Amino acid sequence: MRVFGFIICITCLLTLAACEKTVDTEKAAAAEKSCPVSLLVLGVAQDGGKPQIGNPNDPAWADASLRRRATSIALLDRRGDETRRWLFEATPDIKEQLQQLDEIAPAARRTGLNGIFLTHAHIGHYTGLMMLGHEAIGAQNISVYAMPRMADFLVENGPWSQLVRYHNIILAIMEENAPEEIADGISVTPFLVPHRQEFSEVAGFRIDGPDRSALFIPDIDSWEDWDAAGTRIEEMIATVDVAYLDATFYANGEIPGRDMSGFPHPFVAHSMERFSGLASEEKAKVRFIHMNHSNPLLNPAADERQTVADAGFNISEEGEEICLAQS
């Protein structure tokens, strides 16, 4: 009788697992049908993530729900027999981000990346490349799209040079304002932005899908510096449907005891003030991203989150998916 009961339990568990697998398959099929080309947010924090090293009192150490990974988005193309996937940024959190990507949009091949786009050589944006080496996944011939100085930095400095030498990665050197067509109806265009350039130039990307487009600018010194160079962010926002913009710090004073007025990022409070005259549909395009561990916008209960919402803007969240193609 006990054996019979055990067999029944096992049968039930196997049936449940099969049902769950069917549900997952159905969800994937539904996503493919409703949103065949999309952007998926895999991280929203500044380079060091949240909690950040050296901040033992951050409640995110004890509460996993408050943790956030370094900023990264994935571009998904579910058209055809195999999902094609591109990463924007190779962050220190790439292991967890690829795992999330595999759960949401599985690939048929190990790693399953068709390419990685890098904005610049600050630690939160490229150091995840190390996990592609033979010490970890041992990837083969992953295309890494980079601007010329960024590519030179990878070639001339270890351990990144080893990735090139072992053909874990293949460098695809991009040209400013030149679209890179990576799939039918999908292109990525790099543009230079003013930001600290110790090791490489700093780029943002325009991502064009079959029906909609997006900006990705996780780091910039200031919108006014860009004005001086002849580019107005408002004009760029007007040409796309979604704009992921630098939100590293919310306002001066969020780091106790420091005058932050010279920090090389536009404060969210300043960006909202600058964009206050935009039409509501233009404001709604903005999704603030790349938030420092000190930024109150990472706190789900912070009043500042409501301030952003009341002003008509959005805060990017991990797991959100934005369609770039109509079904």
| pLDDT on residue 12 | 43
- CB-based burial label for 163 (10 Å; 0-12, 13-18, 19+): buried
| pLDDT on residue 211 | 96
Q: Pick from 156, 154, 77: which is nearest to 115 by CA? A: 77
| pLDDT on residue 258 | 72
The mean-pLDDT minimum among 79-83, 156-160, 237-241, 262-266 falls in 262-266
| pLDDT on residue 31 | 53
Q: What pTM was estimated for this model as a whole?
A: 0.88
Beta pairing partners, 183: 186
Note the helical H segments in the chain.
Answer: 2-34, 94-104, 123-126, 148-156, 160-165, 223-228, 233-237, 268-274, 280-283, 303-310
Alpha carbon distances (Å) from 162 to 13, 156, 158, 170: 47, 10, 6, 11
Confidence of residue 228 (pLDDT cuts 50, 70, 90): confident
| Average pLDDT in the chain | 88
| pLDDT on residue 194 | 80
Side-chain-side CA neighbours of residue 286 (13 Å): 25
| pLDDT score of 291 more than 70 | yes
| pLDDT on residue 219 | 87
Domains of the chain with bracketed CATH? 35-323 (3.60.15.10)
Cβ neighbours of residue 26 under 8 Å, at least 6 residues apart?
A: none
| pLDDT on residue 259 | 63
Beta pairing partners, 171: 144
Query: What is the distance between the alpha carbons of residues 82 and 319, in angstroms, rounded to a whole number?
Result: 21
Confidence of residue 261 (pLDDT cuts 50, 70, 90): low
DSSP letter for each residue of 284-296: TTEEEE-B-TT-G
Per-residue model confidence as pLDDT tens digits over 113-136:
999 999 989 999 999 999 999 889
